[in-house]
Structure formats: structure tokens, C-alpha cells
A and B are shown apart, each in its own frame.
Chain A
Amino acid sequence: MTDLIRLSDVEKSYVRGKEKIVIFDKLTMRIEAGDFVAIMGPSGSGKTTLLNLLGGTDRPDKGAIEFDDKHIEKLSEGQLTAWRSVNVGFIFQFYNLMPILTAAQNVELPLLLTKLSPKKRRENVATALQIVGLEDRAKHRPREMSGGQQQRVAIARAIVSDPKLLLCDEPTGDLDRTTADEILSTLQTLNRELGKTIIMVTHDAEAAKFAKRVLHLDKGRFDERELAA
């Protein structure tokens, strides 16, 4: 299989007050196209920071991040923003939908960044909602939907522009077991049938079972054996 993502000697730290907190020191890893990786680890180990680096919402201090053989750490702010809209879908723990928009409008949001015709946009929105099984909720607003339904809308929004990579930060952290399992099955389907590469951060060992492999992160370091496997 070919690598979708390669991290080489990535360094990242934050300055808080006078203190410098090192999150990653020379992190090197690769993720193959079509993989479904679960990342587990204690709070504060750097999971969210890693997703931010992979998705281009934050930048490494040093080192290289290649996506499809393209160095994204070298992109300008504007280029990175445009790259993100094409290549990455984001799914958050608290859904992060726009409360003023209906489900369909929330899903349509990323398509405002494309040159698609309104008709094509409507078709794509309908398809995405169908994939997550919410075609009958298109006109509902987030507060009229359950948590599981809101997360489905968020997944539809993440896949509507057909990105290769989905980044999920605790996607089921706020859901009950049954609903969580439904969401995880949906992600599994996206991975198996649409070939989406998925990187999912989770606390939940049950959730991690839906992934093809699990990586444990602690204090900015992965378990070397897992990484090599």
C-alpha cells in the first residue's frame, strides 16, 4: 500500500507563560491510504495536537508533514486553508454544527467553497445525508435532533466534498453505547466501501475495535512496536 501521510521528525511545543511545553519531539510515522487508525492515550498526551497537525489546522515547529507526497508544512496560510477544504474532513466530539442552519445547509457549507452549481450541490448534499441515513431530517435544525443525529450530520458535512482523509476527535465521546456503535459502523463503512482513510482519537477501547489498528500515544510518543507493525 502507498503512504497517504508521512511525518518526519516533527517537533511541536507550546509556550504557556514562561514555561515551554514540548508535545512532540522528533515524531516520525506513516499512515497508509485506506487505513482506519484509532489513537488512544491519556488526556494531554497530544492526540488533538496530532490531529491538528495532520489536518493543517496547526503547524509543526520543525519537521515535515507529507500528504500524497506533498509537503503541507511548506504551504502558505491561504494554500493550507484551500488544501484543507479539498483533502480533509473533520468530525468533532461536540459536533460543531451551525445552530442557525438546517441539517442540509450545514452539510452544504463546505460546498460554498467549490464552484459547483446549486443543483449539483443539492445532489451532493442529498447523497451525503443518504449515506449517513438522515435524508428525512434535511430540514431540521441541530437543536431539533439527538446527539447521534447531529453527529451524523457532522459526518455528512465531513464527506460531502469527498476528501481522502477523515479526522475524528472523540467522535463518540458524548454518545451512549448503542448510538456510538451506530456512528462507528458508519465510519467503518466509509472506510471499507468509500476507501476513506480515517484517523480517530478515542478514549474508548470498544470504539477502537472498529478500527483496523490501534496506536497508543503517551507523552507525545507512540508505542514503537505498534508503529512498526
Chain B
Amino acid sequence: MNDFALVSKNLWRKPVRTILLIISITIAFLILSLMLSFNSSLSNVNTLPTRMVTLSKINFTESLPIAHYDRIARTEGVRAATHMNWFGGYYQDPARGFLPVFAVDPETYFQVYAEDLGIPAAERDAFFRERTAMLVAAPVAERWGWRVGQRIPINSNIFTNGTTGSSTWEFTLVGTIPTPPGSSQSGSVLIHYDYFNETITFGRDRIGWVPFLTTSAEMNDSVANAIDQRFANSQDETSTQDEATFNESFAAQLGNIGLVITLVVSAAFIAILLIVGTTMALAVRERTREVGVMKTLGFSSGRVLRMVLAESLLLSFLGAAVGLGLAALILTVLASSGGGGGPAISFAPIVIAWAALIALALGLVTGLPPALQAYRMRIVDAFARR
């Protein structure tokens, strides 16, 4: 036997109580790890320092006239430019998740995002050639069970297909894009802008935003100024940002959701803090006499304090470990079933560091009051019959 054995025997003295406590701590850590994983997956997209984006000054859902694209592409310091539209897609059943379908200009898109589009030349050329071609991130094809060569109906929840009068377009899958972690193409579904533009019933000749490359990162500010100046006081004013800033502001839009999640997680932890704190205090008070015996036998006050703290830390780390394990399991299962769209959410290692830190804080905050009480307890008082 040693002190640790004693600590863990004390923890399991009332197994039902301990298990209930661990379950509640587990839930809080599960929510925390899922949220952190979600967050870090979103903000973990690789960026190029020379890649910039021009979009409507109003907000990123507002479109721009196609004429803007030519002017931006011809601006001094712009090496290559492309344009993208949000299609608002889903496959068969919107309840099974949205698809981030982008209508793009294929050849310029491959110039601007070259580093993430290392696919076989045959697939690339097929995508350039066929008007109804579609290129998707490999995990997307895998999730929906799509094969290259297959014709796939995609619905839009924004646009109507003028040729059929329905919201469905048919595309031919011509290839898949491998998406290692951080790839800008995670979740992407790419279709031709021309095909899209000619078949929609409204919003023709407008584009969503214009990604482009500058000749060097030093040029970024002057290029951004030149572009935004060019369209100042026009019908469609623009805002030009480098890619990292753009991603951040995109994440900030989701940030409102993030704030809500943060509040939920905080509330969960405050509740846990109160529950575990009062239970630990009660548990140690029940043991007043035993603490007196330990001290009588010659256990120092400091050692008793450490043992109570160790008990609450053990409890808190057990809950954290189970919560993290569950989160990792859930994310693995989700990943193998493909998830909805957008960047794949994977278990972020940073979660372990955060969880350890929070478990430490939880253990200390809940353990310190009873530990101090045990530390200060005088032997004669512990045995006093009240």
C-alpha cells in the first residue's frame, strides 16, 4: 500500500457517487473537446501569403458584376486571378448535410490554387474540357459513394435550372482531389461557372468573390488599395484582403456560433465545478474523524492536504480522460462516415493540452477548500463529540 492507493480507495469509497461525478465531468470534457476540435479544424487551413481575395464591401454573400473580375485580373501586381460562386448545393436530401459546391472558372482556378490541386493530368484536362464536369474532394466522393465517370444530380437551394425548371443539375464526376490536412480544397465540389451561369434563371453574369495571386507578398497592400480604390463609389464597392485575414473573418462569422458554444461549455463547467466542489467538501467532512486518526498516527497536515488534493485531481483527470476518449471515438466514426461538407473535423492534439489544463484547474479548485479544511483540522476537534 502507498499514499496513492489510499487516495484511490477514498475516491471509490462510494462507487455510485464517484461514477455519477465522473459521468458529469466526462460530459463537460466531451463538449469541450468536440468544440475545440471543430474550431481548430476550421482555422487550420493552409494559406499562401501571396493569395488574396476581393469580395463585396457589404458582406461576403453579396455578389459582384463579372466585369470586376477582368479589371482585377489586369491590375498591376496581380499574377493570376479566378472567380467563384456559391451554389448552395445538396445531394438528394438536404437533411443529410450541405455540399460546398463552387462554380469556378476551371483554368484560372487551377492557377490560383495550384498547390492543392496536384491531380492526374487526364482528370484535370477532363475537367477543363467538359462543361458539365465536376471535380470533388476525395472524402466527399467516398462519403456519397460516387465513382469517377458517374452522372450525379446535385440540387441547389438557391437557384433554379432554367433548362429543366427544377432545382437539379446533372454533373459528370471526372476526378477527385486528395485533401491532406490543411488543404484549401477540403470538402470542395467544383463545377463550371459557364454552365452554371448559362442555366440559372436569375443572378446571371455576377460572381461571388475573386481569389487571386500577387507577384509578391510585399505588393499585397498596394494591390488591395488599387483594387478597392478602382471600385470606390461604384455600385459594387469591394473589399480586398489577404487569404489569412479572409479566413479569419469567415471564421468570425461562425464565431457567433463559437460564442454560443463557448457559453454552453462554460456553463457546463461552472455546473460541474459546483457539483464536484460541494460533493468533495461533503466527502471530506464525512471523514473528519478519519482525518483526525491519520493525523494522530503521524501523518502531517501537509501530507493530508496533498492526499485530498490528489483525490480531486484524480477524479477530474479520470473524467477528462474518458471525455477525451469519447470525443476521439466520435470524431473517428464521423470522419469514416464522411461528415457533412466543409473541412473534415478531426481530433485536434491541442485539445489534449487544453483538457489537461482545465482538468488541473478543476481538480485544484474543487479540491483545495476541503484539502485546506483537512489541513487546518485539529486532532482534538476531529474527535470532539458534537
B10 touches A100 (CB 8 A): yes
Q: Are A113 and B293 in contact (CB under 8 A)?
A: no
The reply to whether B290 and A98 form a contact with Cβ atoms under 8 Å apart is: yes
| Complex CA distance for A55 and B290, rounded to whole angstroms | 18
- Min Cβ gap A81→B in Å is 5
Q: Write 8 A-B pairs (CB below 8 A) sorted by A numbering.
A: A52-B380, A84-B298, A85-B298, A101-B6, A108-B1, A109-B1, A109-B297, A113-B299
Q: Which of A78, A101, A105, A110 contacts B297 (CB 8 A)?
A: A110
Contact partner of A77 (CB less than 8 A), chosen from B294, B301, B380, is B301
Q: Judge whether A8 is part of the interface by a CB distance below 8 angstroms.
A: no
Partner of B293, one of A58, A82, A96: A96
5 interchain residue pairs of minimum CB distance: A85-B298, A57-B379, A100-B9, A96-B293, A110-B297
Task: For the complex, give the distance between the alpha carbons of A99 and B286 in Å.
Answer: 12
Taking the nearest CB of chain B, how far is it from the CB of A92, in angstroms? 8
In the assembled complex, how far is the CB of residue B12 from the closest CB belonging to chain A, in whole angstroms?
Answer: 8
Whole-angstrom CA separation of A109 from B1 in the bound complex: 8
Which of chain B's residues 285-337 have a Cβ closer than 8 Å to chain A? 289-290, 292-301
- The answer to the question of A36 belonging to the interface, with a C-beta cut-off of 8 Å to chain B, is no
Q: Contacts of B290 on A, CB cut-off 8 Å?
A: 96, 98
Find the residue from A57, A92, A110 having the highest chain B CB count within 10 A. A57
Minimum distance in angstroms from B181 CB to a CB of chain A: 48
Chain B facing A: main interface SS: helix
Task: Determine if A24 is an interface residue (Cβ-Cβ < 8 Å).
Answer: no
Q: Which residue of B lies closest to A110 (CB)?
A: B297
A112 near B: Cβ within 8 Å? Answer: yes
Closest partner residue, chain B, to A100 (CB atom): B9
Residue positions of B touching A, CB distance < 8 A: 1-3, 6, 9-10, 13, 289-290, 292-301, 379-380, 383
Residue A90 is within 8 A (CB to CB) of chain B in the complex: yes
Size category of the binding interface on chain A: 20 to 34
User: A110–B303 Cα gap in the complex (Å)?
Assistant: 13
B296 and A57 form a contact (CB under 8 A) = yes
Contacts of B9 in A (CB 8 A): 100-101
Taking a contact as CB atoms under 8 Å apart, the answer to whether A82 and B297 are in contact is: no
Chain A residues 80 to 114 lying within 8 A of chain B, measured CB to CB, are 81-82, 84-86, 90, 92, 96, 98-101, 105, 108-110, 112-113
Inter-chain CA distance A57–B378, complex, in Å, is: 8
CB-defined contacts of A81 to chain B, threshold 8 Å: 295, 298-301
Complex Cα gap A86–B297 (Å): 9
Shortest CB distance A156–B (Å): 13
Contact with B379, one of A58, A86, A99, A157 (Cβ below 8 angstroms): A58
A100 interface neighbour in B13, B380, B383, Cβ under 8 Å: B13
Q: By the criterion CB–CB under 8 Å, are A85 and B297 in contact?
A: yes
Give 5 new A-B contacts, CB below 8 A, not counting A58-B379, A101-B1, A105-B1: A52-B379, A57-B379, A84-B297, A98-B290, A109-B1
CB contacts (< 8 Å) of A113 on chain B: these are 297-299
When chains A and B are docked, how far (Å) is the Cα of A159 from the Cα of B300? 20
Cα of A116 to Cα of B13 in the assembled complex, Å: 27
Q: Residue of A at shortest CB range from B378?
A: A58
Contact between B379 and A82 (Cβ–Cβ < 8 Å)? Answer: no
List chain B residues, Cβ under 8 A from A100: 9-10, 13
Pick the most buried of B2, B294, B296: most chain A CB atoms within 10 A of its CB.
Answer: B296
Q: Is the CB of B296 within 8 A of A112?
A: no
In the complex, are the beta carbons of A57 and B2 less than 8 A apart? no
CB-CB under 8 A from B293, the residues of chain A are 96, 98
Which residue of the partner chain A has the closest CB to B298? A85
- Determine whether the beta carbon of A96 is less than 8 Å from that of B379: no
**CB-CB under 8 A for A110 and B298, given A96-B293, A100-B10, A100-B13:** yes
CB distance from B315 to the nearest CB of A (A): 16
Chain B residues lying within 8 Å of A108, measured Cβ to Cβ, are 1
Supposing A57-B296, A101-B9 touch, asked if A112 and B379 sit within 8 A by C-beta, the answer is no
- Minimal beta-carbon separation of B205 from chain A (angstroms): 78
Q: Mark A61-78, 1 if CB is under 8 A from B, else 0.
A: 000000000000000011
Q: Which residues of A contact B299 (CB under 8 A)?
A: 81, 112-113
Decide: A57 near B300, CB < 8 A? Known: A98-B290, A100-B9, A101-B9. no
Asked if residues B13 and A58 are in contact (CB atoms below 8 Å), the reply is no
Residues of B within 8 A of A105 (CB): 1
Do A112 and B289 touch across chains, with their CB atoms under 8 A apart?
Answer: no
B15 CB to nearest A CB, Å: 11
A78 touches B296 (CB 8 A): no
Residues of A within 8 A of B6 (CB): 101, 112
How many Å from the CB of B3 to the closest CB on chain A? 7
Q: How far is the CA of A157 from the CA of B300 in the complex (A)?
A: 18
| Cα A85 to Cα B380 with chains together (Å) | 17
Cβ contacts under 8 Å, A55 to chain B: 296
Contact A112 B380 (CB under 8 A): no
A120 to chain B, nearest CB (A): 13
Nearest-neighbor residue (CB-CB) of B290 within chain A: A98
What distance in Å separates the Cβ of A122 from its nearest Cβ neighbour in chain B?
Answer: 10
B289–A96 CB distance below 8 A: yes
Cα distance A109–B2 in the bound complex, in angstroms = 9
Question: Which A residues touch B379, using CB under 8 A?
Answer: 52, 57-58
Distance in angstroms between the alpha carbons of A52 and B293 in the assembled complex = 13
Please give, as numbers and ranges, the residues of chain B lying within 8 Å of A112 by CB-CB distance.
Answer: 1-3, 6, 299
Chain B residues closer than 8 Å to A52, beta-carbon distance = 379-380
Q: Are A90 and B297 in contact (CB under 8 A)?
A: yes
